[in-house]
Amino acid sequence: MVPTLFGVLTLTFVVTQFVPGGPVDQAMAQLEGESARTGQDGNSGSGSWNYSGRIGIDEKEVDHLTSLYGFDKPVWERYVHMLSQLVRFDLGESYFRNESVSTLIAGKLGVSVALGVWTFVLTYAISVPLGVAKAVRNGTRFDTLSSILVLTGYAIPGFVLGVLLILLFGGGSFWDIFPLRGLVSDDWDTLSWHAKITDYLWHITLPVTASVISSFAIKTFLTKNTFLEEISKQYVLTARAKGLSEKQVLWRHVFRNALLPLVTGFPATFIAAFFTGSLLIETLFSLDGLGLLSFESINARDYPVVLGTLYVFTLIGLLTKLVGDLAYMLVDPRIQFDRREA
């Protein structure tokens, strides 16, 4: 995990060295009131973090900004400084927002966590029972119709479905049922506790629906195929011969063995729920989360925020993979080689 984390940060740091229009250029463009230009009237066309040399700008101002952002130091020194900060979980200060990166991430994290957790929970809560039902009714009309619905949802991109939901239920062209901005109403603090729950669920319905529909297909068919494979094995016939009910056979015996592929896909599903398409969904439904923050920071060349959000994303991904490995080990003790040798 540690080498992977440092590898991701190092690669990102190196890539940012070659991105045209660095923070100094962005700051000078704001002062000039015009868009940043790169590769003109100067020698920043190679993509360095240096000022591109605009005519009429005081060189002392440029030198001050260069020193303020730390770009007057050698690249290796900036790299070591970045790593030393991140090791101490000090994400630094934003160049343009006058806030610490930790504060910015903490303020946006709730939106991304809400979308990610709901998407992840609903994906497993619906896909696993649906996959089991399809395996038990394999080849029936229910199996065929559910496959068509699941694959149709998988084929529709989340942001396209989001636009359709807004047109249908968000006051776009038909019914004005669900709100379109934020996770809660402006008067949320004045509501009773049950009204707060209702208000929150009302706001989260459309973005979660747009995020989760395309997630069902893979988990549903994986569950179905795994159950079909397990049902045909000898131990299932033995369990049925002992007089166990079909429910006991499925959920007490088959489910434990069929759970292994689902646990293996746990990290990928969790990470995808948090980060895949979050930018488009957050933008579409006016949700100010980490996806939108990262996108805006990349455009503004706000590198402390870019590196800070990437650091948080990578940590979450690595820890999730670790949890997935531990869960796999708990479900199937056979992979513990020390136990096998004992």
Whether residues 175 and 79 share a domain: the answer is no
Whether residues 159 and 192 share a domain: the answer is yes
Whether residues 170 and 71 share a domain: the answer is no
Whether the predicted model's global pTM rises above the 0.75 cut = no
pLDDT at 244 exceeding the cut of 90: no
Q: Flag the least confident range among 1-10, 165-174, 273-282, 300-309.
A: 273-282
pLDDT at 115 exceeding the cut of 90: no
Whether residues 219 and 269 share a domain: the answer is yes
Q: Does 260 fall in a domain? A: yes
Q: Does 103 fall in a domain? A: no
For residue 58, what are the domain limits?
A: 2-90
How many domains would you assign to the chain? 2
Whether residues 316 and 215 share a domain: the answer is yes
pLDDT digits (tens, 9 = 90+) for 136-195: 888 899 999 999 999 998 888 888 888 888 888 876 667 778 877 777 777 777 888 888
Looking up residue 186, the CATH number of its domain turns out to be: 1.10.3720.10
SS3 string, the chain, reads: CHHHHHHHHHHHHHHHCCCCCCHHHHHHHHHHCCCCCCCCCCCCCCCCCCCCCCCCCCHHHHHHHHHHCCCCCCHHHHHHHHHHHHHCCCCCECCCCCCEHHHHHHHHHHHHHHHHHHHHHHHHHHHHHHHHHHHHCCCCHHHHHHHHHHHHHHHCCHHHHHHHHHHHHECCCCCECCCCCCCCCCCHHHCCHHHHHHHHHHHHHHHHHHHHHHHHHHHHHHHHHHHHHHHCCHHHHHHHHCCCCHHHHHHHHHHHHHHHHHHHCHHHHHHHHHHCCHHHHHHHCCCCCHHHHHHHHHHCCCHHHHHHHHHHHHHHHHHHHHHHHHHHHHHCHHHCHHHHHC
Whether residues 165 and 225 share a domain: the answer is yes
Whether residues 146 and 294 share a domain: the answer is yes
pLDDT at 235 exceeding the cut of 70: yes
pLDDT value, residue 53: 47
Whether residues 271 and 175 share a domain: the answer is yes
